[in-house]
Amino acid sequence: MWVGLHRRDLVAIAHYTGLLVSSLALAMIIPLVTALVAGEWGPALDYVCGIGVAAAVGMLLALQAPRGVHIGRRDALIVTALAWLVASFVAAVPLSLSGNYGSFLDAFFDAISGLTTSGLTLVQDLDHMALAHNMWRHLTHLIGGQGIIVAALSVALGLKGGAAMSLYIAEGRDERILPNVMHTARFIWFVTAVYVTFGTLALSISNLLHGMELGRSVLHAFWATAACYDTGGFGPQSQNALYYHSPFFEGITVVLMLAGTLNFNLHADLWRGDRTEIFKNLEARALAVNIGILSLAVGLGLAVTGAFSEPAELVRKGLYHLISANSGTGHQTIYASQWIGGFGGLAFGAIILAMAFGGMASSTAGGIKALRLGLIAKGVILRVRQAISPPSSVVTDKYHHLLDVPLTADVLANALMVFTLYTVTYISGGMIGAAYGYPMGEALFESVSATANVGLSTGITNPAMPAGLKLVYIVQMWAGRLEFIALFALVASVVAGVRSRWSRA
């Protein structure tokens, strides 16, 4: 039975949504400072407006209930679903004032793409965008990659005890690294800071060696690191990673992509000195097998098309884009037209599958996730074993994911449910794109990229595409980042409320 929301639920939802949105006002100080240092007075004013809107909206919502009001699991799911939408609306304000977007819808598209670490973009004249706006675009990857809830927990915006835990779980992070959820959130940011520092230093050196001046080298390095570690596809240049033409740049970003797609619990085990977990873990093994098989498919496909004549170039292009797709990063070193003309058949299909499957759970990556693929595979094997065993025998199995866990019917059902939801959304988005007149293969590629929060594009995503398709991709990016359950909780609560009002009328 669906139960509608009472007034106390609504004010609690508004309160916590407001607290989460308020954190964006603090984050916008960084692009504001960037604008002031660079002498970009127009963009500086854009962020003054953005900070004002974020603070006003956040506080208006937060004041609907007293500090520390109780919030349950259902309400936490609704807060999570709403927070990503409201935060994207607020984050779009300074972007819409930048002059680089044709409409507020386009700016909102980029804001939600940034926060969900998708990386699809509708920006215009990116090569001449202000430094402050590029800073904000890439900061949305950092905020969204760790999660809006995690970001707010890290600065303790009134989120304590049960409310903190409920919101943390609602954002799809049901695995705590440390006993205290606040400490877990701060550990996630600590790991992020280490990788961002490493990536920024390494890529700054690469940029300096390729002739960039110091300030620009550091900014580009930080932006590329933020995008790659948080598995988002934004770049400061319209050619994306192709702009740098550097094997060293590509090598460092591949390391960052793989680090970003690792489960944060695996990061914790590695930091503690436990190197064996990554070899025993079902999810890590499933991801390795997935990358290995799809890499072979990409290599064979590219060899058939002959798009890259040199073997080293074939490996470099193929492996880079396979890792970019599988990790959900979305950086590319080819032109959009080369997906069809260069990759073609087998390699093109393998990239779609890599995007669809995604990285690890409790990471910055999107998609179905390697853990669910591993569980489904073990479930099939278990079912075959049960079918060929004597009727009197009891055949069970377990899997290792941080601990040895029984492979139960509920675990398999949950994995299959999410797998099915993603698959249906991938295909539905592709069919909608085809209905707008785009080739089915390209439309499916774009749909998978949006839903799995990847950002690779065949060129369909551009400012001139139909507004209806922009809205479809916005919903897909939002639903894919939430892994559907929070979105369904919001819809179910709205439907229950409408039914309740209708029955009383």
Burial class, 212, CB count within 10 angstroms (exposed 0-12 / middle 13-18 / buried 19+): middle
Q: What are the phi and psi torsion angles at 362 (to 5°)?
A: 50, 40
Tens digit of each residue's pLDDT (9 = 90 or more) over 270-311: 888 888 888 899 999 999 999 999 999 999 999 888 878 788
Question: CA 358, CA 118: separation in Å to the nearest integer?
Answer: 12
Of 413 and 311, the one with more pLDDT: 413
Tens digit of each residue's pLDDT (9 = 90 or more) over 159-194: 555 555 555 555 555 555 555 666 777 788 888 889
**Res. 52: pLDDT tops 60:** yes
404 beta partners: 400
The count of other CB atoms within 10 Å of the CB of residue 484 is 18
Lookup result for tokens 């639903």: 479
Of 133 and 153, the one with more pLDDT: 133
Question: CA 284, CA 369: separation in Å to the nearest integer?
Answer: 11
Query: 432 to each of 112, 348, 413, 447, 470, how far by Cα in Å?
Result: 20, 20, 28, 9, 11
Q: Indicate the helix (H) or strand (E) that contains 58.
A: helix 41-62
Poorest-confidence range of 61-75, 159-173, 420-434?
159-173
Question: CA 39, CA 16: separation in Å to the nearest integer?
Answer: 36
The count of other CB atoms within 10 Å of the CB of residue 381 is 12
pLDDT at 1: 46
Query: 473 to each of 34, 53, 182, 457, 470, how far by Cα in Å?
Result: 31, 25, 33, 12, 5
User: In which band, very low, low, confident or very high, does the pLDDT at 505 lie, cut at 50, 70 and 90?
Assistant: low
User: In which band, very low, low, confident or very high, does the pLDDT at 156 lie, cut at 50, 70 and 90?
Assistant: very low
Query: 474 to each of 121, 132, 201, 215, 479, how far by Cα in Å?
Result: 11, 24, 34, 34, 9
**Res. 91: pLDDT tops 50:** yes
Which residues have C-beta within 8 Å of that of residue 335, sequence separation ≥ 6? 242
Question: CA 10, CA 7: separation in Å to the nearest integer?
Answer: 5
**Res. 438: pLDDT tops 90:** yes
Extract the tokens encoding 352: 């779609």
Cα-based angle 321, 365, 353 (whole degrees, multiple of 5): 50
| Closest alpha carbon to 138 in 190, 74, 130 | 130
Burial class, 213, CB count within 10 angstroms (exposed 0-12 / middle 13-18 / buried 19+): exposed
- Average pLDDT, whole number, for the chain? 87
User: What is the percentage of the chain residues whose pLDDT exceeds 70?
Assistant: 89
Q: What is the pTM of this model?
A: 0.92
Which residues in 329-463 belong to E strands, given as ranges?
Answer: 398-401, 403-406
Question: CA 235, CA 417: separation in Å to the nearest integer?
Answer: 34
Extract the tokens encoding 84: 């990503």
Extract the tokens encoding 307: 């798009």
**Res. 317: pLDDT tops 80:** yes
User: What is the percentage of the chain residues whose pLDDT exceeds 90?
Assistant: 56
- The answer to whether 54 touches 28, Cβ cutoff 8 Å, is yes
Poorest-confidence range of 18-27, 284-293, 496-505?
496-505
pLDDT at 170: 53
Identity of the highest mean pLDDT range in 29-33, 274-278, 356-360: 29-33
